[in-house]
């Protein structure tokens, strides 16, 4: 008994000593303020700060809004995620949005924080240096036609994607431009075109009489404002004896080992002279690669005009391998040339046993007007820390989600279903009460089938941007209706609150997160992914 009392007395004295040290102005711990620095190294952000000469751990916070003061705790609506470490260094992946604000504080048993928070640093400033410099991003050419390997008069020009680019401006010159890597066109250009909506262009240079010329490209937003500077001018050598390419080029942006969406999207670089393109899906590798006739293994096809992507109408739910390819069709309805190379994808229902995501186009993917779910950078599932199968379908209302639940969800037997739906219904004037009823029915179907439903609150929208891009009006009471549905979602046992992190001062979706006011772009999808990651351990407990 004496020993126990002695231990208790020593512990009490020790805690008292630590407490006095932490509150004493003379010691100076109350004025401690870490100096944070962030460096971008090998696809990671490395955060460092000086160590406090005292027993303490450190909390690193990622915030969606800049904090007001260095002594104020962040609210749940401001904090995306926090990390704790005993070290004075932390490495994180680069899948966080550029508009993320980071700070660090020392933490102890008695004080949280001990002293003050560090000044916040925005990731954008650490990656490039300044916001202005970040805007000066430039495409990088990926197709080359030197004198030793010239092109036909119709070269297929390709370059790296510029995130957020709605379309591109392509410039042809007889010589190197006088203003390399500028935002303005050259005075020496021979031809300028903006009819380019993907990161490739099958140029017709039959008008050019020489043997070599230069090209460069820059990205533009939906209003035609440059998103960065022109690429380096690249020389093309021509050989008129070479037969021009007549088949589209597959534009595949699916990460390795990522499962395809239940409703796939297909993307390509169009071929010259083909206002229309036909996509073909087959159950076996086509028996006539490069041919102009449909395959005997065709199970589905679709024709689109003026586009470089195509949405599959049918859920690809039968396990197995599928193959798709595309060919150009001229104005008379005849094939311009052969089919593209065939690209394969695999449907494996077991990949959805852990998590599936269920919803409308925000879940399905795409953004920045010109990008479809074929570009996985615009899918929030890309940024999740766990595997998930995408069961989203663009255009879905909550009624449509409920109607396809049994057919599209149950075969995957997911343990957890992330649900985000209601935006299209509410925008179209469906009452919030009806949306709530349909979401409740989806919840009940999950529970009946042993699936845990995890709801996401609805992100806000921006009616002016929606009207600007789609020329569609939004119901005037959308804000109240969204609030009503989100209130219901917040009453569910398992939910993740997205909305506060995606609001601007007018409680709308800011343009830097969504060009069209409706579909979050890469930055928005990264933010959604990280919010889900930060809350995942809580909702699966």
> Phi and psi dihedrals of 19, rounded to 5?
-65, -45
The pLDDT value recorded for residue 493 is 97
| Residue 100 · residue 123 · CB < 8 Å | yes
Question: Tens-of-pLDDT digits for all 541 residues of the chain?
Answer: 557 666 666 655 555 545 544 555 444 467 788 999 998 887 788 999 988 877 788 999 999 888 888 888 888 888 999 999 999 999 988 788 888 899 999 887 666 688 889 999 987 676 554 444 545 689 999 999 999 999 999 999 999 999 889 999 999 999 999 999 888 899 989 999 999 999 999 999 999 999 999 999 999 999 899 988 999 999 999 999 999 989 999 998 888 889 999 999 999 999 999 999 999 999 999 999 999 999 999 999 999 999 999 999 999 999 999 999 999 999 999 999 999 999 999 999 999 999 999 999 999 999 999 999 999 999 999 999 999 999 999 999 999 999 999 999 999 999 999 999 999 999 999 999 999 999 999 999 999 999 999 999 999 999 999 999 999 999 999 999 999 999 999 999 999 999 999 999 899 999 999 999 999 999 999 999 999 999 999 999 9
Nearest-angstrom CA–CA distance, 233 and 226: 17
For residue 152, CA distances in Å to 115, 202, 224, 239 come to 68, 11, 30, 5
Q: 390: closest CA among 198, 530, 531, 529?
A: 529
The residue ranges of DSSP E strands in 134-274, in sequence order, are 156-158, 167-173, 189-196, 200-202, 212-220, 234-237, 249-250, 265-269
- Altogether, the residues listed in the chain come to a count of 541
**Homologous superfamily of 348-541:** SGNH hydrolase (3.40.50.1110)
Q: How would you classify residue 273: left for phi > 0, otherwise alpha for psi between -120 and 50, otherwise beta? A: left
The pLDDT value recorded for residue 131 is 45
| Residue 362 · residue 392 · CB < 8 Å | yes
CA 273 to chain centre: 32
Nearest-angstrom CA–CA distance, 285 and 322: 8
The residue ranges of DSSP E strands in 33-122, in sequence order, are 37-41, 44-48, 57-63, 79-85, 89-93, 101-107, 121-122
Helix or strand (DSSP H, E) at 127: helix 123-127
Nearest-angstrom CA–CA distance, 323 and 284: 7
pTM (2 d.p.): 0.91
Instruction: Tell me the H-state helices in 252-397.
Output: 361-364
Nearest-angstrom CA–CA distance, 199 and 214: 17
Question: Start-end ranges of CATH 3.40.50.1110 in the chain?
Answer: 348-541
State the DSSP code for 370: T
| Residue 342 · residue 288 · CB < 8 Å | no
CB atoms within 10 A of CB 256: 4
Instruction: Say which residues have a Cβ less than 8 Å from residue 16's Cβ, sequence separation at least 6.
Output: none
The pLDDT value recorded for residue 26 is 42
> Phi and psi dihedrals of 344, rounded to 5?
-105, 145
Whether CATH 3.90.700.10 fits 249-347:
no
| Residue 248 · residue 270 · CB < 8 Å | yes
Helix (H, G, I), strand (E, B) or coil at 21: helix
Torsion of CA 124, 126, 130, 132, to 10 degrees: -40
The pLDDT value recorded for residue 51 is 87
Question: Start-end ranges of CATH 2.60.40.10 in the chain?
Answer: 2-129, 249-347
First vs last Cα of the chain: how many Å apart? 40
Instruction: Say which residues have a Cβ less than 8 Å from residue 509's Cβ, sequence separation at least 6.
Output: 459, 460, 461, 462, 465, 502, 503, 517, 518, 520, 524
The pLDDT value recorded for residue 183 is 87
| Residue 198 · residue 220 · CB < 8 Å | no
CB atoms within 10 A of CB 132: 8
Torsion of CA 368, 374, 379, 381, to 10 degrees: 180
For residue 428, CA distances in Å to 252, 348, 420, 475 come to 33, 35, 17, 7
Nearest-angstrom CA–CA distance, 183 and 67: 34
Q: How would you classify residue 306: left for phi > 0, otherwise alpha for psi between -120 and 50, otherwise beta? A: left
CATH class, domain 2-129, is: mainly beta
């Amino acid at each position: 008994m004496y020993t126990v009392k002695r231990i208790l007395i020593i512990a009490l004295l020790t805690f008292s000593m630590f407490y006095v040290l932490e509150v004493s102005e003379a010691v100076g711990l109350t004025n401690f303020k870490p100096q944070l620095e962030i460096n971008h190294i090998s696809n990671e952000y490395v955060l460092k700060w000086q160590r406090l000469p005292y027993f303490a751990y450190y909390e690193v916070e990622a915030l969606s809004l800049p904090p007001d003061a260095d002594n104020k705790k962040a609210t749940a609506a401001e904090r995306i995620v926090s990390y704790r470490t005993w070290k004075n260094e932390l490495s994180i992946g680069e899948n966080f949005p550029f508009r993320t604000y980071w700070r660090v504080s020392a933490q102890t048993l008695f004080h949280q924080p001990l002293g003050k928070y560090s000044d916040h640093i925005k990731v954008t400033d650490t990656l490039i240096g300044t916001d202005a410099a970040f805007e000066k991003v430039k495409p990088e050419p990926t197709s080359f036609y030197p004198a030793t390997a010239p092109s036909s008069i119709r070269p297929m020009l390709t370059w790296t994607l510029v995130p957020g680019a709605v379309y591109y401006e392509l410039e042809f010159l007889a010589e190197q431009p006088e203003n390399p890597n500028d935002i303005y066109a050259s005075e020496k250009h021979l031809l300028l075109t903006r009819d380019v909506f993907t990161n490739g262009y099958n140029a017709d240079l039959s008008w050019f009489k020489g043997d070599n010329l230069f090209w460069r490209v820059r990205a533009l937003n939906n209003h035609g404002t440059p998103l960065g500077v022109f690429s380096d001018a690249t020389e093309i050598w021509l050989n008129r004896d070479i037969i021009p390419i007549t088949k589209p080029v597959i534009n595949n942006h699916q990460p390795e080992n990522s499962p395809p969406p239940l409703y796939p999207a297909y993307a390509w670089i169009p071929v010259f002279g083909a206002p229309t393109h036909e996509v073909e899906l087959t159950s076996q590798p086509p028996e006539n690669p490069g041919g102009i006739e449909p395959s005997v293994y065709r199970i589905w096809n679709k024709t689109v005009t003026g586009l470089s992507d195509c949405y599959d109408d049918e859920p690809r739910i039968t396990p197995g391998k599928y193959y798709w390819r595309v060919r150009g069709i001229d104005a008379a309805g005849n094939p311009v040339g052969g089919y593209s190379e065939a690209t394969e994808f695999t449907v494996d229902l077991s990949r959805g046993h852990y998590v599936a995501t269920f919803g409308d186009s925000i879940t399905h993917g795409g953004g920045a007007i010109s990008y479809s779910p074929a570009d996985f950078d615009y899918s929030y599932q890309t940024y999740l820390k766990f595997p998930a199968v995408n069961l989203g379908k663009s255009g879905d209302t909550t009624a449509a989600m409920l109607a396809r639940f049994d057919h599209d969800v149950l075969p995957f037997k997911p343990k957890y279903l992330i649900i985000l739906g209601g935006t299209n219904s509410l925008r179209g004037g469906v009452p919030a009460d009806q949306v709530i009823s349909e979401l409740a029915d989806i919840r009940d179907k999950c529970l009946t089938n042993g699936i845990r439903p995890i709801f996401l609150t609805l992100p806000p929208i921006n009616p002016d941007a929606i009207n600007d891009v789609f020329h569609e009006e939004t119901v005037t009471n959308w804000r109240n209706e969204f609030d009503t549905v989100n209130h219901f979602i917040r009453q569910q046992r398992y939910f993740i609150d997205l909305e506060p992190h995606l609001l601007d001062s007018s409680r709308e979706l800011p343009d830097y997160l969504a060009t069209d006011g409706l579909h979050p772009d890469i930055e928005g999808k990264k933010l959604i992914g990280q919010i889900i990651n930060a809350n995942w351990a809580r909702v699966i407990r």
